[in-house]
């Protein structure tokens, strides 16, 4: 028996080789205090036993629907979930994350009370060593986006990435479909930021409740903990999303913050590459347009890290021996 036609909230979980974490994730979704939910487990061509585990869960819980598809990336998995979702609202949960039991209920109740188009909560950021509570604002707030949209954009540009992440938010499925919104399957990174920014740009109100309800987990295979040769390409995608979707005055006002973010990404790239014994040259780094733009325009007084400062001097003035020394000392 499939109870999805009675659901209020659809929970979409894209899955790729997530057997190690999947049981915890799904169990926290099954324990939701909001009864009228459906759980869409979208298997994106996993090569481990993720699909088998999904089907086992579906056998014991009629709210679970399993979708099996060829591997096409997380965006295509989420898009399939959106296409099949039956709820009035939608939540996105990553397969290695988990949520509080009242996650869906509190977000739905708060959204309805605030009459907002989107509702966001705080979250826990976890790794093997620690757990940190991330509060995105000091207190509960409902933004009037007809007046305060630039404030939301500004907070994101200045480094508050949680504002435009998708994992801690309740979206209106009707609004998504009315505006033909999908996750870009062309981007290798920042597709979630792009989707959320485009959604918010169609909204009149944006609600926030200052309670952490979502557990965002940095596992051993995440981009945040391992070296990836495409890290700077991912950063290019992020900048493209900013330039094309953020209010232009906000972007211009905060170009130095953006340049500094680029410099720290390059510094981080160098550190992780060295640790993983990956060789790369000055030419490799400066092949990225965002890196070249940063080198040319960032102000030295904006840089407050010694390693970033040395790196910038080496890159701006093409002092190759200093660049090699910098790499050697990483």
> How far apart (Å, rounded) are the C-alpha atoms in residues 125 and 214?
9
CATH number of residue 147's parent domain? 3.90.550.10
247 found inside a domain: no
Co-location of 198 and 286 in the same domain: no
pLDDT value at position 282? 82
Same domain, 294 and 195: no
What pLDDT shows up at residue 220?
58
Domain annotation covers residue 235:
no
Q: Does a structural domain hold residue 224? A: no
pTM beyond cutoff 0.75: yes
Q: Do both 206 and 271 map to the same domain? A: no
50 shares its domain with 143:
yes
Quick one: 173 and 258 in the same domain?
no
- Same-domain pairing of 162 and 262: no
Q: Looking at the structure, do residues 53 and 116 belong to the same domain, yes or no?
A: yes
Encoded tokens for 267:
């510094």
Average pLDDT in the chain? 88
Judged by DSSP in three states, 124 sits in strand
Do 268 and 204 lie in a common domain? no
- In terms of domains, do 180 and 275 share one? no
Cα separation, 133 vs 212, whole angstroms? 7
Assigned domain for 157 exists: yes
CA distance 187 to 75: 9
Q: What is the pLDDT of residue 278?
A: 76
The answer to whether residue 84 sits within a structural domain is yes
Does residue 38 fall inside a structural domain? yes
Which tokens sit at 10? 């659809």
pLDDT band at 222; cut points 50, 70, 90: very low
The per-residue pLDDT for 229 is: 66
**Statement to judge: residues 143 and 208 lie in one domain:** yes
Helix axes 306-316, 255-275, angle to 10 degrees: 100
Structural domains counted in the chain: 2
Cβ neighbours around 137 below 10 Å, total: 16
pLDDT tens digits for 85-144?
A: 999 999 999 999 999 999 999 999 999 999 999 999 999 998 877 888 888 778 999 999
Q: Please compute the mean of the pLDDT values over residues 242-263 and round it to a whole number.
A: 82
> Is there a domain that residue 285 lies in?
yes
DSSP, collapsed to helix, strand or coil, labels residue 15 as strand
Could you tell me the residue range of the domain that residue 277 belongs to? 254-329
CB of 15 within 8 A of CB of 77? Answer: yes
Contact predicate 182/124, CB 8 Å: no
Question: 169 with 266, same domain?
Answer: no
- Residue 204 confidence (pLDDT) above 60: yes
Q: Do 266 and 211 have their domain in common?
A: no
Q: Say if 147 falls within a structural domain.
A: yes
């Amino acid at each position: 028996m499939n109870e999805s036609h009675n659901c209020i909230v659809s929970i979409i979980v894209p899955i790729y080789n997530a057997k190690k974490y999947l049981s915890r994730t799904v169990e926290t979704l099954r324990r939701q205090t909001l009864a009228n939910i459906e759980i869409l487990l979208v298997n994106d061509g996993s090569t481990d036993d993720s699909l088998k585990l999904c089907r086992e869960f579906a056998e014991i819980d009629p709210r679970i629907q399993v979708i099996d598809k060829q591997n096409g990336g997380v965006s295509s998995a989420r898009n399939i979930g959106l296409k099949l979702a039956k709820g009035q609202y939608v939540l996105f949960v990553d397969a290695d994350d988990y949520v509080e039991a009242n996650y869906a209920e509190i977000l739905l109740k708060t959204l309805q009370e605030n009459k907002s188009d989107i509702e966001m909560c705080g979250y826990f950021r976890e790794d093997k060593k620690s757990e940190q509570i991330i509060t995105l604002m000091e207190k509960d707030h409902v933004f009037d986006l007809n007046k305060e949209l630039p404030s939301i954009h500004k907070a994101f540009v200045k480094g508050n990435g949680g504002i435009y992440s998708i994992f801690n938010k309740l979206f209106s499925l009707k609004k998504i479909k009315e505006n033909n919104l999908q996750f870009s399957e062309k981007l290798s990174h920042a597709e979630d930021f792009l989707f959320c920014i485009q959604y918010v740009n169609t909204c009149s109100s944006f609600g926030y409740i200052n309670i952490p309800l979502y557990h965002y987990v940095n596992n051993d295979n995440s981009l945040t903990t391992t070296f990836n040769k495409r890290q700077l390409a991912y950063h290019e995608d992020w900048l493209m999303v900013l330039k094309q979707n953020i209010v232009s005055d906000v972007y211009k006002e905060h170009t130095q913050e953006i340049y500094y973010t680029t410099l720290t990404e390059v510094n981080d790239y160098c550190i992780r590459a060295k640790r993983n014994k990956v060789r790369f040259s000055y030419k490799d780094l400066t092949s990225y347009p965002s890196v070249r733009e940063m080198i040319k325009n960032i102000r030295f007084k904006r840089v407050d890290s010694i390693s970033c400062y040395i790196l910038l001097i080496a890159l701006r003035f093409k002092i190759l021996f200093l660049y090699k020394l910098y790499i050697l000392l990483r």
